[in-house]
Amino acid sequence: MFTEQDNQLIEKEFEVLRLASLKRCANQGEYETVLKAFDFAKAAHHGVSRRSGDPYIRHPISVAQIVVQEIGLGYKSIVAALVHDVVEDTEYTIEDIERLFGAKVASLVDGLTKIKSAIDSKTSGQAENFKRILLTLNDDVRVILIKLADRLHNMRTLDFMPDHKKSKVISETMYIFIPLAHRLGLYSIKSELENIWLFHTLPSQYEFIQSRIAQTVEERGCAMDSFIEPIAESLRQAGFKFSITKRTKSPYSIWRKMETKGIPFEQIYDLYAVRIIFDAKPEQVERIQCWHIYSLITELYLSKTDRIRDWVSTPKINGYEALHCTVMGPQGNWVEIQIRSTRMNELAERGVAAHWSYKEAGTPSEKDMDRWLNMVREVLENPDSNALEFLDRFHSDLLSSEIYVFTPKGESKSLTKGSTALDLAYAIHSEIGNKAIAAKANFKLVALSYELRNGDQVEIITAESQKPQREWLDFVKTPKAKGFIMDALKSEIKDHLKRGHTMLDEKIKEFGIKPQARVYRKLTVAYGLTNRQELFSKIGAGLIDLSDLGKMLKKNSSNKIVRYWNLQFSKITGSEKNNSESFYTDDEEIAEKDEPFDDNDAIPPTTKSRIDKKKDYLLKEDPLEKTLSYQVARCCKPIPGDKVIGFISDNEEVIVHKNSCPEAIHLAASYGERIVNAKWSKHTVLSFLARISMRGIDRIGILNDLTQYITLVLSVNIRKIFIETHDGIFEGFIDLYVHSTEDLDKLIKQMMLVKGVESVNRTEIKED
């Protein structure tokens, strides 16, 4: 039972929601429906607590607050948020919800219930579950918006979740929900989710960046006020009603820039940004007023013209409108300024949800969002859509930026950045795509594979005799184009599949190996493909030459069954078995088992695992045998001390990734049931490969000093070194072996003491 203090807290939090809901309710009836929903949800969840010990009803109240205050949806969405867990967690049904609150609220709750069931389902792959989630876009995009609010609150209370579930939720959030928030224009929610992800994934980096941001604000805050004041005065004199705010980059965006560019915090020069929000004058076009403000700013400060971003003339596909410019501040630092009208700011803060407030028929933002949602629906409705392939494509599309091109008649077409002339042909009409033979870009003849650029004017040239070519799949980018091509090639692909399957089986048998699911999966990975259907198809079409099959079978030697095959190869060829990439030394007999044919997953779900996923999996070494009880992922090469996550392979081996590794995020989002919590033990015998990048002032003997210092003074083994010099500056990297991140941090600090060295940072190792 709840205490009186619990009840007071519930009433206090609902009071905040009640006041916020008043602004979104059009009449007394809608307002009373919100009150009724609260009473209903409170009674349904009576006596139930969350893992934190809080009354469960606080969760739906918090979700509803996000829905109304941070997304800006109306009363039906508020009601749906309040009762969204009732059907899943109590004996009430969707029919009860419809009877009490109407068909639309019931439809929203039904969509949310299906999403929760799909995420928690263990009967199919995670990718298939996400596909089910996104099918709700067919019904009402508000279902996804409410689900984002639900995910945001769950992320805010992540500390109370068990570790084995925490990794799954964090990775799902990074792989699907954060890009989805970005595409739907919910930038504040996206930013908060990213920061929570960083806090839980890399806590030390998060704390470091936060402390440096606070220090910078203290040091430069007054200077920014001095920078803003002349702009404010100029706008006042021009008769604008406005507000100006200053902000810093988020910890996640700073970390991301440091990672991708390999630079320290001190080299983040665009730490500050200024936002101007003005009340548009009704007698003038908003776009013109934005450029007027820009001209006033550039009378005061020098503009970096190559950094102008004009999203007022051509809004982003998610509806975002603003004019961005970068100017030189008085202290010699670049400052980004964002210029928005009040309407533009509402769209920017609330994204697609704001379309219910600004429902002007035919506005560019609304048409672009509808076009994107229609594209998603088309892909989802394709019965041949492979779930895992769909998830990857959808993820890529969420993250992609867009370009605008024009038809010969001047009609604007929005496409994903990187799209080709053939993508445009299919965007216009499927038959134009199917019969396309070439294109004219800016009146110049180009191939169908020509990558479109923003502002291109493009004419598609067709011929009645033309038909889709399999090679087109290699360069089209949009799911729509790929779908049409695949449909047209279906019969041809079936022939290729059958022929390729037969050819591969015959070739495999020549090595004395039994063709089976595991062999196909390893070859799929070795050839860099998505699934075995693609493998068979490309073999049958003659696009994969099986003369190197033996090499490919050896290449992927990350588990026991493949090492068994390597042993057979060595007997056949007389060659020595090279197992340098494997940390396992046992040669136990492997029983070959046929597995069911499953094309949905490149890595199928495991059966009942002997590894307890609820307990920490200790990454330890045996100092006598010098063997590891796990395998280090080659994509990110974690070392002891890195925050890591483990995945159970189909042979009961644990593959360890950095938990910030993009591949790990992908795996955790697609195969959440395979996650184990991995923890490092003390490593004193085994060494791990790491890379440090260096930059400094060149001088005679610098390379000799660096290598001698590393090997003689620090006693560290060097595997590879690359240094180049230009204009008196040297830069390069050294790959070396260390026991842990602690050793590496000490080495970096010592390296900074070498004369001439300006910066030393750990960077990712890229495979040659």
652 is catalytic: no
Annotated active-site residue in 88, 98, 259, 310: 88
* Strand pairing report for 717-726 and 675-680: unpaired
Q: Using CA atoms in the order 387, 388, 390, 395, what is the torsion angle rounded to 10 degrees?
A: 140
* Strand pairing report for 444-446 and 436-441: antiparallel
Distance CA(158)–CA(152), nearest Å, equals 10
Q: Look at phi and psi of residue 485 and say left if phi exceeds 0, alpha if psi is from -120 to 50, else beta.
A: alpha
Burial of 120 (0-12, 13-18, 19+ CB in 10 A): exposed
Burial of 424 (0-12, 13-18, 19+ CB in 10 A): buried
Crossing angle of helices 479-488 and 421-428, in 10° steps, is: 80
88 is catalytic: yes
Annotated active-site residue in 6, 54, 89, 598: 89
Helix (H) or strand (E) holding 154: helix 141-156
Distance CA(185)–CA(197), nearest Å, equals 19
Distance CA(258)–CA(256), nearest Å, equals 5
Burial 296-326 (b: 16+ CB within 10 A, else e): bbeeebebeeeeeebbbebbbbbbbbbbbbb
Query: Do 82 and 117 touch, CB atoms closer than 8 A?
Result: no
Nearest CA to 336 among 409, 259, 252, 227? 227
* Strand pairing report for 631-632 and 654-658: parallel
Distance CA(225)–CA(230), nearest Å, equals 9
User: What contacts 233, CB < 8 A, 6 or more positions away?
Assistant: none
Nearest CA to 251 among 217, 218, 210? 210
Neighbour count for residue 225 (Cβ, 10 Å): 10
Distance CA(437)–CA(445), nearest Å, equals 11
Q: What is the set of active-site residues?
A: 88-89
